[in-house]
Structure 1
């Protein structure tokens, strides 16, 4: 009986701790990409090359960091009212896909394929392409 009581108390304490952590994560302040300095400045070619050659090391280096990436625009589009800019790389199968913030989506009409562009956003990973979210257009 005493053992069951200890298990119930432990589950209760873990539940409260889990709820507290979830609350803190849900309500954590959003990073203002424009005002925050970049953790890493890199070219589209280099970041894709790093992920292609050693994804584990690249994840440690780039994931959830604010990345300033520069490259040549290969595609500009709007999906579900969000701007997406794809940066060309030397790899025929991979690129850097930047999902723009609402503010930068408003400026997308001035961007065209072939333009050299610098964007800053949060790297969220690699699935054949490197994904950058909440991207702001720097130039």
Structure 2
């Protein structure tokens, strides 16, 4: 009886330690850009924005969490601390595509406002603008 109870407690301890090790591994994984990942969807910025504006729920099911290549005209480049955000304009006034570049991404030469650019990033949804993170410019 005592031996059985000891085996049960040791088994529980091993399971808890294994779960803790797996959790730490997931937490400590390095952050990855979209550069090395395959593109799930290639789309223009206007089309992406209009689809989200028309039906956000359906667009989330299509694009949320997926790697998307978006082409559009650069409206603005924002520098906020270590992060750089490229904003692509759409023909619908007031909305656009916010593309946060992956930390440490160097673009040479840096494009100017009005240039046509293509960025690849992971879609995080819609909040007045469509948001992409971990973006890298493609050529």
C-alpha distance in structure 2 between counterparts of 1:39 and 1:128, whole Å: 23
Distance in structure 2 (CA, Å) of the matches to 1:58 and 1:19 = 36
Q: Which structure has the larger Rg over C-alpha atoms?
A: 2
How far the C-alpha of 1:108 sits from its partner, in A, is 6.7
Aligned partners of 2:86 and 2:33: how far apart in 1?
20
- Point out where structure 2 has 5 or more consecutive residues left out of the alignment: 1-11
**Number of residue pairs matched by the alignment:** 125
Equivalent residue for 2:124?
124
User: Residues of 2 paired with 1:50 and 1:24: CA distance?
Assistant: 37
Cα pair 1:83 1:108 within 8 Å, conserved = no
Unaligned runs of 5+ in 1: 1-11
Label 1:101 to 1:29 Cα distance change in 2 as closer, same or farther (>3 A).
closer
Cα RMSD (Å): 2.4
Matched position secondary structure for 1:102 = coil
Q: Tell me the CA shift for residue 19 of structure 1.
A: 6.0
Partners of 1:94 and 1:86 in 2: CA distance: 10
Within a 5 Å distance, the mapping from 1:1-139 to structure 2 comes to 22-23=23-24, 25-28=26-29, 30-104=31-105, 106-107=106-107, 110-139=110-139
Aligned-residue offset at 1:33: 1.6
